[in-house]
Amino acid sequence: MKQTIADMREIFCNQDQIKPKGEMLEIMSASFRCPEYETSLFGQFNPDYFRRELTWFLSLSDNLHDMYPDGDFPRAWANVASPKGKTNSNHAIPVLSSPKGRLSQFQHCLNQLLEDPKTRRAVMIYLEPEMHDLYKAEGMNDFKCTWGAQVFIRGGYMSYHVSMRSNDAVIGFRNDLAWHRYMHQLILDAYNAIIEHREGKTPVRLGELHWYAGTLHVYPYHRHLVRKEWA
């Protein structure tokens, strides 16, 4: 049976008891399911913060001053943004924007599902080939963490599969999870609205969300949250 968030939590707890203080905890090639009742690996998910972040995502802004006008960015954002607040990590830009009049990644993904519900081509690609140069442009240090997402319809369920280059297991994971749950529901609703209206077909149901991270890690300054789990 595929591992879950709880299994990742247990692995980190075991590592914390072995690794010297001050070292990062890390799981390589982490692959697991994300049950609906789980909202984080460690620490508490903050829905108010995510609503603020989601509003900024959907604005398609690439500048944090549009989310934090006073310039008081949280540490995770301040560490990657340019001195003027520019960032590469607005998740919505690569998948919901329509550059130069072309279809968005979301629309391409939806079209593939509508053309063939059993397709393996329903993907949304987040990471640009130019990222090796873009991540350091204008003083940023922002190499996107998300490779992409893939959607499958099998057995009447729509599953959603996230692929991460690198994933902070604390703040990064819980907010990334909330974003991808939003996208999972968004594409499910869009697909069902079309097949019901156009073809009178039975809607598909929300399936599992699967997660893969090349590296899933807990920074040393967050290890106290891991210790709370096994203490």
Catalytic annotation, residues: 145
Q: How far apart are alpha carbons 145 and 104 in whole angstroms? A: 20
Instruction: Find, among 41, 45, 52, the residue nearest to 15 by Cα.
Output: 41
Nearest residue to 91 via CA among 40, 142, 43, 48: 142
3-state secondary structure of 6: helix
Report the sign of the C-alpha dihedral through residues 209, 53, 84, 103, in that order: positive
Write the CA distances from 95 to 23, 78, 117, 137, integer angstroms.
35, 24, 20, 21
Go through the chain and tell me how many residues it has.
Answer: 231
